[in-house]
């Protein structure tokens, strides 16, 4: 399968541009609508095809098998929402992993560091606004994935080599290093494997962009 962006067919590029925001929504926090979209992605083989594109079939097989256990989107949503809170928001003894880049550049896991300022400047330059009027730090994983998607969409829509290089550079130097650490921290989660698999697949797709 494709090893870098230059190898992608038009169909594979469309799959990547649809798959990145689909996965990023998992890290905003699940919703019933998104859970229905994930069930649809299983039924249409979109999730399976993403795994093939990323050369990471094991992760997508894990996600597909997990999703297929649920009889409806409401049940899937309730379980996944509880997992999200426990892993990323609040848990006795501390959360498993932070969803903010700044946390990985600070010895004590502080937020609002260099990455938050860097991303705020990037978003402002791109004319983008954070949801909730900036209530979420700009270096949240889902924000960074959506920003990467925006760069890629602009690069291919406008045939802009500069935007393409910006997307590749952002993926390689800013996003990939801390996403590796996040994925490693989630490896301890064995009972409910959805988020470890989702992080692994997301990392593989980011690596496809950034090399």
CATH code of the domain in which 193 resides: 1.10.3480.10
Contact partners, residue 63, CB within 8 Å, separation at least 6: 47, 194, 197, 198, 201
Mean of the per-residue pLDDT values of the chain: 92
Q: Could you give the residue ranges of the DSSP H alpha helices within 44-175?
A: 46-53, 57-67, 73-84, 114-126, 141-158, 161-170
pLDDT over 90 (residue 153): yes
Q: Beta-carbon neighbour count of residue 37 at 10 Å?
A: 14
pLDDT on residue 133? 56
Contact partners, residue 94, CB within 8 Å, separation at least 6: none
Give strand pairing partners of 140: 100
CA distance 65 to 43: 12
Q: How many domains does the chain have?
A: 1
What is the extent of the structural domain holding 154?
5-210
Mean pLDDT across 8-36: 94
CA distance 45 to 63: 12
pLDDT over 60 (residue 132): no
Q: If pLDDT is split at 50, 70 and 90, which confidence band does 134 have? A: low
- Dihedral, CA of residue 109, residue 25, residue 192 and residue 184, to nearest 10: -40
Q: Comparing C-alpha atoms, which of 147, 144, 154, 151 is closest to residue 176?
A: 144
pLDDT over 90 (residue 4): no
Q: What are residue 100's phi and psi, to 5 degrees?
A: -120, 130
| Cut 0.85: pTM above it | yes
pLDDT over 80 (residue 3): no
Q: If pLDDT is split at 50, 70 and 90, which confidence band does 131 have? A: low
pLDDT on residue 120? 92
pLDDT on residue 41? 96
The token duo for 6 is 């230059």
Q: If pLDDT is split at 50, 70 and 90, which confidence band does 192 have? A: confident
Tokens 């094991």 belong to which residue? 58
Q: Comparing C-alpha atoms, which of 87, 93, 41, 51 is closest to residue 191?
A: 87
Query: Tens digits of per-residue pLDDT, 61-82?
Result: 999 999 999 989 999 999 999 9
pLDDT on residue 208? 95
Contact predicate 171/148, CB 8 Å: yes
pLDDT over 70 (residue 44): yes
């Amino acid at each position: 399968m494709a090893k870098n962006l230059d190898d992608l067919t038009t169909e594979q590029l469309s799959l990547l541009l649809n798959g990145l925001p689909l996965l990023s929504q998992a890290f905003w926090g699940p919703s019933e609508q998104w859970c229905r979209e994930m069930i649809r992605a299983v039924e249409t083989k979109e999730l399976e095809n993403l795994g093939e594109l990323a050369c990471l079939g094991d992760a997508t097989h894990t996600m597909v098998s997990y999703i297929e256990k649920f009889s409806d989107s409401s049940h899937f949503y309730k379980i996944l929402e509880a997992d999200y809170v426990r892993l990323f928001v609040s848990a006795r003894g501390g959360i498993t992993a932070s969803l903010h880049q700044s946390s990985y550049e600070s010895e004590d896991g502080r937020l609002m560091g260099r990455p938050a300022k860097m991303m705020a400047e990037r978003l402002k330059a791109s004319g983008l606004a954070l949801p909730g009027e900036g209530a979420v730090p700009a270096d949240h994983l889902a924000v960074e994935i959506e920003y990467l998607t925006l760069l890629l969409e602009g690069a291919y829509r406008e045939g802009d080599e500069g935007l393409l290089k910006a997307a590749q550079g952002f993926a390689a130097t800013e996003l990939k290093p801390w996403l590796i650490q996040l994925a490693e921290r989630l490896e301890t989660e064995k009972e409910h494997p959805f988020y470890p698999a989702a992080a692994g697949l997301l990392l593989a797709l980011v690596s496809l962009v950034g090399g």
